[in-house]
Amino acid sequence: MSKDVTMRDIARKLNLSAVSVSKAISGKEGVSDSVRDLILTTAAEMGYKYTTASKDRSLHYNVGVMVAQTFISDSAFYSKLFQNIAIEFGKAGHSCTLEILSHRDEHDGTLPMSVTEGHIDGLIALGPLTEPCMKSVLSLETPCIFVDNYAPDDNLDSVVSDNVYGSHMLTNYLVKKGHRKIAYVGTVNATNSITDRYLGYIKGLMQNNIPVRDDYILPDRNEQGYIEEVKLPADMPDAFVCNCDEVAYHLVRQLDGIGIKVPEDVSVVGFDDFIFATVSKPPLTTFKVNMEEMSKSAVSLMIDKIKDPHGYHGRRVVSGEIIIRDSVKDR
């Protein structure tokens, strides 16, 4: 056999990850005895040379990026975030594959076969997960990180946008524009991001001595996680802080349908600075999530995690900035 056989070649032949092959050949833990024997036998048959240099050159990681069907579509925020992550992995000489959890899998907590059968070197759990899926992820031995989400007890590494600070900035901006009757649009416990953005909104009100009104906390989605029409309060707010641009876009259309104009009658702000912010009429003032920096940070963290599965890096928070457009007016 050729002396140029690499761990990647062995991994491809056996349909295993390069990291599993590396662990078996280097005598590290993380693979069963039967799998180790199979790898070593195959390596010998293929003529693999046990040298440090060839081992280092052959490591090519394949990472699974898993996202729930509920939160992804052709034009969704998570589709774009996955594209950025894939580009960053390519720059680093690695690859990634997208795994979409069906609604049934979300309900049952069933993870993709590539994850459960060890065909990937690491897993990025992208976006919100149901409780059953979260439990399944937390039980994995595969190196894993969260992006735009985090574990309930913070025991896994994660990369998140600065949700609290961003929503706080938006609320303060509305106050500086003369608004006092400010509502929050978002089902508070639906996702970690919505909860954190709600906390930023509350902080903004408190720092400006504005009372928090229960009737100004407006749910925006049903039990399945899908966005639905907002039930407006009897005492109309003069501004709305929405948990994302898509919700803000639909709210603007809903208000227009009942004769309430943005920004002439009320102001509306979003979050993310995604496509809905620019197609909205008027375009939305929003908080821009630094998607490129989140992707770079996620790829860097995932590679570190694969190299040292027992290392802990904590939560990496990526900041952003307010983008001023036409959906806010001075009062």
Distances (CA, A) of 263 to 176, 284, 331: 15, 10, 10
Where are the chain's structural domains?
Answer: 7-58, 62-161+291-319, 163-289
Q: What is the pTM of this model?
A: 0.80
pLDDT reported for residue 46:
78
Q: Give the domain 163-289 fold.
A: Rossmann fold (3.40.50)
Token representation of residue 237: 């707010």
Helices 18-26, 7-14: axis angle to 10 degrees equals 120
Q: Any idea which architecture 7-58 has in CATH?
A: Orthogonal Bundle (1.10)
Distances (CA, A) of 131 to 43, 106, 193, 231: 41, 9, 15, 27
pLDDT reported for residue 71:
84
The DSSP bridge partners found for residue 268 are 240
Distance CA 326, CA 284 (A): 6
Number of H-type helices and E-type strands within the chain:
13, 12
153 Cβ neighbours under 8 A, 6+ residues apart: none
3-state secondary structure of 178: coil
Q: Any idea which architecture 62-161+291-319 has in CATH?
A: 3-Layer(aba) Sandwich (3.40)
The one-letter code for the residue type at 118 is: G
| Segments in the chain below pLDDT 70 | 1-4, 27, 44, 49-58, 73-75, 154
pLDDT tens-digit profile of 141-199?
899 999 999 887 767 899 999 999 999 999 999 999 999 999 999 999 999 999 999 99
Distance CA 248, CA 327 (A): 10
- Intrachain domains 7-58 and 62-161+291-319 with the same fold: no
